[in-house]
Amino acid sequence: MKQLIQGGRVIDPANHIDKKADVLVEDGKIAAVGENLSAEGAEVVSAEGKVVVPGLIDMHVHLREPGQEAKEDFVSGTRAAAAGGFTTIATMPNTRPAVDDAAVVRSLQKRAEDEGIVHVKMIGALTKGQQGKELAEVGDMASVGAVAFSDDGHYVQNAKVMLNGFDYLRSFDKVIISHDEETSLVEEGSMNECHRSAMLGLKGRPTVAEDIAVMRDIMLAEYAGARFHVAHISSAKAVEIVRQAKKRGVRVTAEATPHHLTMTDECVDLKDSATKVNPPLRGKADVEALLAGLKDGTIDAIATDHSPHAEEEKDVEYALAPSGFPGLETAVGVLLTDLCHEGKAELPLLISKMTAEPAKILGLTDAGTLSVGAPADITIIDTELKWTVDAEKFYTRGTHSPFVGRELKGKAILTMVDGRIVMRDGAIE
């Protein structure tokens, strides 16, 4: 089977391509990228006026399997991913039970293959039960395909346990992804600690909690010579700590979310718990620091931290609501609207942070690229398409999003996985 994606602006950061070109797909693989390609008998997909990129990668999502399928599962989550233009997603292990042994990793991989319509990579728990007391079977999980390890949702308080993780995983060249907030400084906090939190009567989560945790883990990774990745970085000081560590040669990377790059704590509304996230939305200076870090390479990737919750869980008093909201279906629109179209970040930069860079961090040699011979994971984006976020049209089971009702400009209009079109014009095929 052949497909010819014709006439689009091809942006492939992995191969330093940004030009008008065609992409030829044969038998689920990239066969050629070039101008005026022809292929007899191929299905022609017009991309005139559109942008053609490697399938987007989200290295930080929560699909809730096993144990919390009422919030999300592989069926709904992978459809939400496809609708948002993502062809590869990595799911976090803070499930019930936690994904902390090889048998669970294998069973989830099989379920993802059977039920999912995009590629799903497994991130294993760093510690048993994510309790932070002793390492999980990280070696066994790595051997069956876990791409990274994390106790996301929990900060590993015990520095010795964290160091043991760095020492052990260095031989596997696997990265530890950490939710870095010093627990004793953030307990029960609902939003960024600032003047607004005091005005709203909400207990705050100070940026220093993140800064201390990031610094500790960087120092441990530096001592061990291991790889470390900061999940959803949100504070200006933490960005600077990562920047200086990179200059010293520490093997550290970082990600930022679309909401931390575009929203501030001024968006917090007691009547709507959608803005309750963890770490919280920060101040304007923090957002500006994140953008600067994105541009200078301090921040390597953009990840959604897609965290759907059941309707009844979020529809409660702000302080009592769980943190997180679904982000897969709105990420492209938000980033293009608030960053690209506002002149705050160039499109090729954003594409790099959502394709080549996360692929490199997770060691995905067959993703994030349009190289000849690579799997035909392709996303087509209409950067000018205006649309309104409607939770009723979400494929995810989560409906509480701070972007509901917003008009956005820019959307993925086609998602191809292994040469098969799984989403076209917003509809799953």
The string of pLDDT tens digits covering residues 106-135 is 999 999 999 999 999 999 999 999 999 999
3-state SS, residue 96: coil
Same domain assignment for residues 85 and 178: yes
Q: What pLDDT does residue 204 have?
A: 97
Same domain assignment for residues 47 and 130: no
Q: Tens of pLDDT along 5-35? A: 999 999 999 999 999 999 999 999 999 999 9
Residues of the chain with pLDDT > 70, as a percent, come to 100
Q: Is residue 394 part of a domain?
A: no
Catalytic residue among 12, 217, 305, 382: 305
Q: Is residue 393 part of a domain?
A: no
Report the Cα 209 to chain-centroid distance in Å. 22
Last residue of a domain, one of 362, 395, 420: 362
Give the pLDDT mean for 97-112.
97
Q: Is residue 392 part of a domain?
A: no
Q: What pLDDT does residue 247 have?
A: 98
Give the pLDDT mean for 140-168.
97
Q: How far apart are CA 407 and CA 414, in angstroms?
A: 20
Q: Is residue 369 part of a domain?
A: no
Q: Tens of pLDDT along 30-51? A: 999 999 998 889 999 999 999 9
Q: 179: domain CATH number? A: 3.20.20.140
**CA dihedral in degrees (70, 73, 78, 80; nearest 10)?**
10
Q: What pLDDT does residue 38 have?
A: 87
Sign of CA dihedral 148, 325, 107, 67: positive
Mean pLDDT value across the chain: 97
Same domain assignment for residues 13 and 92: no
Question: Count H helices, E strands: the chain?
Answer: 14, 19
Residue 256 in tokens: 């930022």
**Quick one: pLDDT band at residue 363, thresholds 50, 70, 90?**
very high
Q: Answer for the pair 266, 339: CB distance below 8 angstroms, yes or no.
A: no
Q: What pLDDT does residue 53 have?
A: 98
Same domain assignment for residues 241 and 183: yes
User: Is residue 391 over pLDDT 90?
Assistant: yes
Number of domains in the chain: 2
Same domain assignment for residues 40 and 112: no
Q: What pLDDT does residue 39 have?
A: 82
Q: Is residue 315 part of a domain?
A: yes
- CB neighbours of 204 closer than 8 A, spacing ≥ 6? 189, 190, 191, 192, 193, 194, 197, 198, 280
Same domain assignment for residues 153 and 122: yes
Same domain assignment for residues 118 and 267: yes
Same domain assignment for residues 250 and 112: yes
Same domain assignment for residues 14 and 143: no
Same domain assignment for residues 251 and 135: yes
- Return the exposure string of 184-222: e unless at least 16 CB atoms fall within 10 Å of the residue's CB, then b: ebbeebbbbbbebbeebebebbbbbbbbbbbbbbbbbbb
Residues of the chain with pLDDT > 90, as a percent, come to 97
User: Is residue 253 over pLDDT 90?
Assistant: yes
Q: Is residue 117 part of a domain?
A: yes
Q: 43: domain CATH number? A: 2.30.40.10
Residue 181 in tokens: 């907030």
CA angle 202, 205, 209 (to 5 degrees): 165
Q: Tens of pLDDT along 276-293? A: 999 999 999 999 999 999
Q: What pLDDT does residue 394 have?
A: 98
Range of the structural domain that residue 292 is part of: 56-362
Q: Is residue 391 part of a domain?
A: no
One-letter identity of residue 116: G
Active site residue 211: no
**355: alpha, beta or left, given left = phi > 0 and alpha = psi -120 to 50?**
alpha
Q: What pLDDT does residue 51 have?
A: 98
Same domain assignment for residues 47 and 62: no
Same domain assignment for residues 301 and 171: yes
Give the pLDDT mean for 157-179.
97
Q: What pLDDT does residue 1 have?
A: 84
Q: Is residue 260 part of a domain?
A: yes
User: Is residue 187 over pLDDT 90?
Assistant: no
Q: How far apart are CA 87 and CA 146, in angstroms?
A: 18
Q: What pLDDT does residue 266 have?
A: 97
3-state SS, residue 79: helix
- CB neighbours of 58 closer than 8 A, spacing ≥ 6? 81, 86, 88, 89, 90, 303, 304, 306, 328, 331, 354, 358
Smallest Cα–Cα separation from 270: which of 322, 204, 201, 195?
201
